[in-house]
Structure 1
Amino acid sequence: MDDGPMGGGGGGGGRQREPADTDALYKVLGVDKKASDSDIKKSFRRLALKKHPDKGGDPEEFKKIQAAYEVLSDPEKREKYDKYGLEGLEGGDMPEGGMDVFDLFFGGGRRRARGGKRKAEDTVYPLKVSLEDLYNGKTAKLAITRSVMKGEPKKCTTCRGQGVVVQMRQIGPGMVQQLQSRCPDCTGGYRVQMKKERQVLEVNVDKGASHNTKLRFSGMGNESPNAEPGDVVFVLQQKEHATFKRKGADLLLQKDISLSEALCGFKFVVRQLDGRQLLVQSKPGQIVRPEVTSGVPYVMCVEGEGMPKHGNPFDKGRLFVLFTIVFPPNYSLGEEQMEMLKTALPPAINDEGYDPETVEEAMLDEIDLNELGKGQGASGDDDDDDDEAGHNGQRVQCAQS
């Protein structure tokens, strides 16, 4: 994931970090680091059947199994974990239901920052941007409100600074269950008064940035006792565009053209996302077909008129144009026009000979396909059943000699 322009984790003070542990989750599932997605899924199912609390398994151990599978079954999260360990997993990467992988495996806080302190949760904001913003880039100043500490934190007497409390619950004769939960009277083992603080952040959206790109501002999030401040993360949300659809670095435009344009060439102007007027035209003699093959639409493209590529905005994708040929409604041709078209176009493919004395003529009319099966006689089967059944629905059998 790319950091925002004002983000950047970085090391500090020349302090050396210990190598990240990238094996723990694989050990929980009992698979090798090179295991395939299928192997990971099979191992999780096997462990889930064996370790589920309903089967007498330990709830905490089962949570670890679930958390490990949530990370390793997602290619993006697995890649982050393989590179950076649990510290590389962001707030949005946590498993469903708010499970905290770092808490589960190491207890206490979420991520450990420099100096061994845990790191407070990230604050995530969606940021809606237009396709024009992603094409041209954009800088915006956004105001956020964060929680900061007022005064010095004091160790909680309820949990004795542990951040969690343990309760014992009897579940049967001679059977006691130990339940661990977050302390209701403190945050992370410390009590402190909090206040709200307003901050204005300058957010830079790079050219070619994509939907769900995360822009990170390190240390600008909420404060928490005995912890490094969290980060503020803006997640780009691309809005629908009236003209273009985007896929990667390519753009798609749907365009209606007439039958004459499909056969004789076309020109039309497209307003590009940077405001340029782009004249799109066919090559001389080029014909637009309704389909390439059955069910496959006919498309053309213009090289270099798609989206800028993130990291190299001077290199752009392609502009795809998907055509729909609009045939003239309620329009008939005269004899002279038909003869001219027959001369200009390829010969007919249905030109078999016939004897006019023996064939019967059948003229076609336009009709909706939904009318198929609704013609006269459609209820004939029901009529036959009624005839066969006789009066009052009683079936009548034919006498046999």
Structure 2
Amino acid sequence: MKVSIRQLGPGMIQQMQHPCNDCKGSGETINDKDRCPQCKGEKVVQEKKVLDVVVEKGMQNSQKITFPGEADEAPDCITGDIVFVLQQKEHPKFKRKGDDLFLEHTLSLTEALCGFQFVLTHLDGRQLLIKSNAGEVVKPDQFKAINDEGMPMYQRPFMRGKLYIHFNVDFPDSLTPEQCKAMEAILPPRNRSQLTDMELDECEETTLHDVNIEEEMRRKQAQAQEAYEEDEDMHGGAQRVQCAQQ
């Protein structure tokens, strides 16, 4: 280290300490004639190296691939590692959860009741024929699974997870009276009310209307927050008046 002393005024001295310019605080210098022409006495040289990052089948998101001792080197220091962290890109159709894959598929009401089949292009380009069993009815929000069609398992590439298909059913917006009669002829009978005509006459008739439940909840939450703030203002004002009277 280098110590500098400076006179600031009568009886005032400033002392400063800073690293030596020649050795940069290392306590060692190399004569110009003895310096390596390549590193110029710095003991390290710049080098370009190509690292091959091998992503094995089944590796997970945020999994690390480490190259030991490949980080920047410095004299008298242990060289660190270069660590690559995998970032998995989102797929527009498939969603990955561990070793399993999830897929959304929408069926028409006819397909859900009478059977369906469709061709699915898998991630590796294979064409899979997906079809229902004879007489099977698929309910809305139902899941079905296909074994060994998920992601390959890490370090066990010949084993795979499952492919889960989440089925949505697209219902028609309305039916004509003729369609209703045709449907009633083949579907199980409706669950009609057990009330008598006299009892039905005493009931008040209601009207159902469509609603966006998410928007409705947001509106109610905003109204509740506004009422809470108004209540806080009223109580705060009363408290301030009471303090002024004291």
Q: Please name the residue that 1:322 is paired with.
A: 166
Offset of residue 279 of structure 1:
1.6
| Alignment partner of 1:352 out of 161, 175, 194 | 194
Structure with more strand by fraction: 1
- Helix, strand or coil at the partner of 2:52: strand
1:129-175 per-residue CA deviation (whole Å, 9 max, x = no partner) reads xxxxxxxxxxxxxxxxxxxxxxxxxxxx68xxxxxxxxxxxxxxxxx
1:22-45 per-residue CA deviation (whole Å, 9 max, x = no partner) reads xxxxxxxxxxxxxxxxxxxxxxxx
- Helix, strand or coil at the partner of 2:168: strand
Assess, with a 3 A threshold, how the Cα gap between structure 1 residues 210 and 263 changes in structure 2: closer, same or farther. same
Q: Which has the larger radius of gyration?
A: 2
Q: Is the CA contact (8 Å cut-off) linking 1:190 and 1:226 kept in structure 2?
A: no
Q: Please name the residue that 1:227 is paired with.
A: 77
Give the aligned CA root-mean-square deviation in angstroms: 3.0
* Structure 2 residue identity aligned to 1:270: L
* Structure 2 residue identity aligned to 1:197: E
CA distance in 2, matches of 1:316, 1:268: 22
CA distance in 1, matches of 2:104, 2:124: 19
CA distance in 2, matches of 1:234, 1:279: 38
**Structure 2 counterparts to residues 23-172 of structure 1, below 5 A:** none
| Alignment partner of 2:176 out of 321, 333, 356 | 333
CA distance in 2, matches of 1:235, 1:322: 31
Structure 1: unaligned runs, 5 residues or longer:
1-156, 159-184, 291-296, 375-401
Q: Please name the residue that 1:368 is paired with.
A: 211
Q: Is 2:92 the counterpart of 1:242? A: yes
Assess, with a 3 A threshold, how the Cα gap between structure 1 residues 318 and 258 changes in structure 2: closer, same or farther. same
* Structure 2 residue identity aligned to 1:271: T
Offset of residue 369 of structure 1:
5.0
- Helix, strand or coil at the partner of 1:285: coil
| Alignment partner of 1:200 out of 19, 32, 50 | 50
Offset of residue 349 of structure 1:
2.6
* Structure 2 residue identity aligned to 1:236: L
Q: Please name the residue that 1:144 is paired with.
A: none
Alignment length (residue pairs): 182
Q: Where has structure 1 moved over 4 Å in runs of 4 or more?
A: 189-192, 360-365, 369-372
Assess, with a 3 A threshold, how the Cα gap between structure 1 residues 351 and 342 changes in structure 2: closer, same or farther. farther
Q: Is the CA contact (8 Å cut-off) linking 1:190 and 1:225 kept in structure 2?
A: no
| Alignment partner of 1:285 out of 119, 135, 157 | 135
Q: Please name the residue that 1:311 is paired with.
A: 155
Offset of residue 343 of structure 1:
3.2
Q: Is 2:123 the counterpart of 1:273? A: yes
- Percent of aligned positions that are identical: 40
* Structure 2 residue identity aligned to 1:216: T
Assess, with a 3 A threshold, how the Cα gap between structure 1 residues 247 and 349 changes in structure 2: closer, same or farther. same
CA distance in 2, matches of 1:264, 1:345: 12
* Structure 2 residue identity aligned to 1:324: N
CA distance in 1, matches of 2:71, 2:157: 31
- Helix, strand or coil at the partner of 2:182: helix
1:242-299 per-residue CA deviation (whole Å, 9 max, x = no partner) reads 1111111000111121111111122222211101111212222222212xxxxxx421
| Alignment partner of 1:216 out of 59, 63, 66 | 66
Q: Please name the residue that 1:22 is paired with.
A: none
Offset of residue 215 of structure 1:
1.0
CA distance in 2, matches of 1:289, 1:367: 22
TM-score, structure 2 length as denominator? 0.64
CA distance in 2, matches of 1:326, 1:207: 37
Q: Please name the residue that 2:20 is paired with.
A: none
1:353-382 per-residue CA deviation (whole Å, 9 max, x = no partner) reads 53279627957454325698x9xxxxxxxx
